[in-house]
Amino acid sequence: MKKVKLLSLLLVAMLLLPAQTIEAQKKKAKVQTDREYWCDLMYRIATPVLSNMSEGKLQQEMQVEVSPRWDGRDKKVTYMEAFGRLMMGLAPWLSLPDDDTAEGAQRKQLREWALKSYAHAVNPDSPDYLLWRKEGQPLVDAAFIASSFLRAYDQLWVPLDDVTKERYINEFKLLRRINPPYNNWLLFSATVETFLFKAKAEPDMYRIASAFRKINEWYVGDSWYADGTEFSFDYYNSYVIQPMYVECLNEITQQLQRWVVTKKDYDKALKRMQRYSVILERFISPEGTFPVFGRSITYRSAAFQPLAMLAWQNQLPQELTNGQVRAGLTAVLKRMFANSGNFNEKGFLTIGFTTSQPGVSDGYSNNGSMYLTSLSFLPLGLPANHPFWTDEPQPWTSKKAWEGMEFPKDRAYHE
């Protein structure tokens, strides 16, 4: 009897084995690629903002969260921060052409929502007209909106109707009422004016030129800039200084060959940013973490904007490969966004670093500020068949070092 039962069990196992093998193969085939992970995460981050704002309902639906040390400014800055910061990082992805893939459907939907949202942002009759004319903060996030237009001019600026374009140009010019502090804010003015320059809308070239002069004067060596007259050890070289400086220099020097700046100035700034990106890549630990220091640490993965920007623009330094940069950034995103506490019950980002952690925020921080994290997603502007996405993943520098592999010696950058 026991032999019969044993034979029966063996027979059942043999019959089940092929089915189990097939099922295992199916599961293996459904393993998410790095790009699919990035797309899904970016879509998750962007959807609550753009789906609501496209209908003029962002200010109605978004739960506003401010720092426990809130500095008292109008809390409506939250909506402009959420929209402007999101679009600056999202723009390159939306610049890709439509296709019939699942990603293409995500991208098309986000672009449609974004174009409607841009119109609401400057329409005084819309419930989602943004806080353009109060406080000094609008200069910051207007610069992020302007940058989104620079990064996807044909896809996000050109399709807007004439009335909406005129409204943006008017709002941008009215921001000249704000005298920027003597720090990275100079680049916010410069970015707005650089967009007006590109749009042939009477830019204030002095605001551009003065920002360029001061940023270059504040260079302290080995790729780092001070944020004003004193150096601060934080990630503002990532959040603002390096990317905006290089972006504006590139736009201006492409069209004005003989001006206050030249192509040599752009090349110098680019080399500095390439060196800085080498440092950033070395910051990524074998586990996908990175050092937590300085103000505005709640901007999460925005700390890697220069590295992401160079990858998107095919300008990574020779020390870094596509495979190692993608693998390192993916490890950071997966580690950072593994906790569901990054999002509230309506899907909006919370104040924090790897979850809801309002205690580490600054007095100017709100949950709209958190959308600066989109700046690490710039490589989505590369097509899916680009080597950044198709090359085999490679261990990044710290992973090599801590796992006993050979790794490149680091050297300071001197001009």
pLDDT tens, position by position, 63-85: 999 999 999 999 999 999 999 99
pLDDT of residue 302: 98
CB atoms within 10 A of CB 413: 16
For residue 8, what pLDDT is reported?
55
Q: What pLDDT score was predicted for residue 20? A: 54
pLDDT given at position 379: 98
Q: What per-residue confidence (pLDDT) applies to 335?
A: 98
pLDDT tens-digit series, residues 28-39: 557 999 999 999
For the packed helices 77-94 and 34-53, what is the interaxial angle rounded to 10 degrees? 140
Listed as ranges, residues in the chain with pLDDT below 50 are: 4, 10-15, 17, 26
Q: Which residue has the tokens 């390096």?
A: 242
pLDDT score for 255: 83
CB 297 within 8 Å of CB 360:
yes
What is the per-residue pLDDT for 262?
A: 86
What domains can be seen in the chain, in order of their start residue?
33-402 (1.50.10.20)
Q: pLDDT at position 257, please?
A: 61
CA 253 to chain centre: 24
| Cβ count near 171 (within 10 Å) | 19
Q: What is the 3-state secondary structure (H, E, C) of the chain?
A: CHHHHHHHHHHHHHHHHHHHHHHHHHHHHCCCCHHHHHHHHHHHHHHHHHHHHCCCCHHHHCCCCECCCCCCCCCCHHHHHHHHHHHHHHHHHHCCCCCCCHHHHHHHHHHHHHHHHHHHHCCCCCCCCCCCCCCCCHHHHHHHHHHHHHHCHHHHHCCCCHHHHHHHHHHHHHHHHCCCCCCCHHHHHHHHHHHHHHCCCCCCHHHHHHHHHHHHHCEEECCEECCCCCCCCCCHHHHHHHHHHHHHHHHHHHHCCCCCCCHHHHHHHHHHHHHHHHHHHHHCCCCCCCCCCCCCHHHHHHHHHHHHHHHHCCCCCCCCCHHHHHHHHHHHHHHHCCCHHHECCCCCECCCCCCCCHHHCCCCCECCHHHHHHHHHHHHHCCCCCHHHHCCCCCCHHHHHHCCCCCCCCCCCCC
Instruction: Please report, for residues 56, 152, 202, 288, 392, the alpha-carbon distance to residue 355 in angstroms, rounded to integers and kept in the order given.
Output: 28, 31, 44, 16, 30
- What pLDDT sits at residue 11? 47
- The Cα 245–Cα 249 span in angstroms is 6
CA angle at 323 for the pair 284 and 235, rounded to the nearest 5°: 30
**pTM (2 decimals)?**
0.92
